[in-house]
Structure 1
């Protein structure tokens, strides 16, 4: 690990990357809650197509993660790809203000996801390389907390902006929110360029023939991730559920902020806890919580049930978006951290796309309830398979 000064018990690099993720996610989440309504009400896209577009957007970034994780390993260059990825995402969000149809919308959202695909594995490798041995859960938990605090701030800023822009038409208000969302993203890019240090160059490329990916047990873990991803519905479905129960877009933003608050404040302690106990057991529990969350969304008919569903959804995301990355980082050798973490993201991304397509089809053919029941089934299956994964040590 690169010797660095620390702040709040974590390396300066991890702290800065947390700030960057806070700003970028604030930018993303300023627009994320209005995107489903923009897609269905403004651009008039149907349910199956909407589910497919949201799933494609969620999936595409992951298809690039193993490629750019490998490239960052090969050239020992993390920072360049992190900065490039954040830059593309920032441009794409601001440019949404100029879209006139679903194809332009999709193109820019794909560009945003490509940016995420470029930066994620190199960034996670940089976090792993900047962490103390045995403390990866703490570092990834802090990063996920900061990322998700941005997701808490984003919808709240969006609520304020929509109130401020209420004199405009819905279309014009949304376009102005898209433009303003680029500002925190740009600040994040500047922090990466000016302050974050690249540690990858200092890691010797050695032990070439030995890879964590050759482990049968780790391959089984990736199968579990694939099954879990098939039950990973887009956040848009939770907002469509709130809309189905009669809540307005502003009220839905409040639910979404609650989800992200739970997500944010649970991620760090869960990460720290996973360093002390078995990461495998925490991941297994996460799929159990995912099952309960989906079932609660499926049967929610009043405010208390809907609030519980968003709380469970936040806990599930705090676990499954944090601990598997730390688990993979612990098992990867120094020369392949970007590749191994990228493999996890890519497997997840390949299978998360059909998840939203299937959920969209179930919604249109039957009801939104069946989309959530399908997700619950996949999460429960992933939990059962995860029990069969053997504990591994890095």
Structure 2
């Protein structure tokens, strides 16, 4: 939404100090993540208890689901740069995901479940880089961390609300056979997704016409320092396990499905509380510093999960995990947006997501194999080692700023 200043120049309307587009996209992400997180906490048990998958297959499926979306992000980031139509890609991505979540109600086998989860991730792959590029284009210069922090905060507040709504719905359906209750929950999750689509259609504004179309200068992707940064991201991604492993850990310690969902809500609450201040702080102290700290926090979270035997250590593990994900989901996006030229923001941000996604898949396969062959403790110890390695490498690489 554009307003006119006294001198006749254009300025974008702000809400709580955030540009209109960033604010509205935050609402979209709130609703979409509420939709996703109504069902995500039950998916690990749905796989093992209803569809009957084993440890290795479950870990592989969760890794494939999280990885596949990233393979599409650089392509659709490039297309949104090329055509300067971020909104169309954002709408298509969210629409595809909304359909896929509701259709989970009709799955009967792991392969039809996987196909719909992949379709959901394809939707995420279509929308993420164009959406992040639009957030960057709608941000004040030097305030990308603040914008991405606000967006991730709103996204994760939805992720806090989602499990709580899911717990409430499961409580209302407590007399229904659990397999049927899961399916009703999947259908219910489509409702906030549909609301987010209406907001995109009527309130999100494209900024593509204001972005310089002529390619000038050298692409940031040709920078040696950026390539080294992406290499470290790949190492860190090899230590990034699916959230499902944290819930399987809670289940291993004897907590019920509702208990697991409560832990998941705690994780998302920490994420939501941390994301915005982390984004603002990264604009002040430098994004590389916080990205580096994130790997260390992830290693500590993994060690806490590995050795958790009681409630206190498990809570600490979920708190640290939430802070790490708040850093990892916020700061690298803003960092890449700062490095990219105007003509390539979608492409460069998409390149980060793609590198991360490619290496997340083998990470969950390895974690699943260690779980099946030894125990969950070894899965988390492996993750701790890879994050410590990324932490050391991040210290060694040259700062781009």
1:386 aligns with 2:394: yes
1:212 aligns with 2:216: no
In structure 2, how many angstroms separate the alpha carbons of the residues matched to 1:249 and 1:287? 29
Q: Tell me the residue number matched to 1:183.
A: 191
In structure 1, how many angstroms separate the alpha carbons of the residues matched to 2:278 and 2:254? 34
How does the TM-score come out when normalised to structure 2?
0.97
In structure 1, how many angstroms separate the alpha carbons of the residues matched to 2:148 and 2:399? 20
In structure 2, how many angstroms separate the alpha carbons of the residues matched to 1:318 and 1:203? 29
Q: Tell me the residue number matched to 2:365.
A: 357
How does the TM-score come out when normalised to structure 1?
0.99
Deviations 1:13-62 (A, max 9, x none): 00000000000000000000000000010000011000000000000000
Displacement after TM superposition at 1:201 (Å): 2.6
The count of corresponding residues between Structure 1 and Structure 2 is: 393
Q: Tell me the residue number matched to 2:384.
A: 376
Q: Tell me the residue number matched to 2:284.
A: 276
Displacement after TM superposition at 1:188 (Å): 0.4
Deviates more, 1:121-130 or 1:202-211: 202-211
Q: Tell me the residue number matched to 2:28.
A: 20
Please give the residue correspondences for 1:1-394 in structure 2 after superposition, counting only pairs within 5 Å.
Answer: 3-393=11-401
In structure 2, how many angstroms separate the alpha carbons of the residues matched to 1:206 and 1:232? 38
Displacement after TM superposition at 1:232 (Å): 0.3
In structure 2, how many angstroms separate the alpha carbons of the residues matched to 1:362 and 1:168? 35
In structure 2, how many angstroms separate the alpha carbons of the residues matched to 1:249 and 1:6? 41
Moved over 3 A (4+): none
SS in 2 for 1:167: coil
Q: Unaligned 5+ residue runs, structure 1?
A: none
Displacement after TM superposition at 1:202 (Å): 1.9
Displacement after TM superposition at 1:210 (Å): 1.0
In structure 1, how many angstroms separate the alpha carbons of the residues matched to 2:303 and 2:394? 20
Q: Unaligned 5+ residue runs, structure 2?
A: 3-9
Deviations 1:274-305 (A, max 9, x none): 00111101110010000000000000000000
In structure 1, how many angstroms separate the alpha carbons of the residues matched to 2:51 and 2:354? 30
Cα RMSD, aligned residues only:
1.0
In structure 1, how many angstroms separate the alpha carbons of the residues matched to 2:396 and 2:336? 17
In structure 2, how many angstroms separate the alpha carbons of the residues matched to 1:117 and 1:294? 27
In structure 2, how many angstroms separate the alpha carbons of the residues matched to 1:231 and 1:110? 22
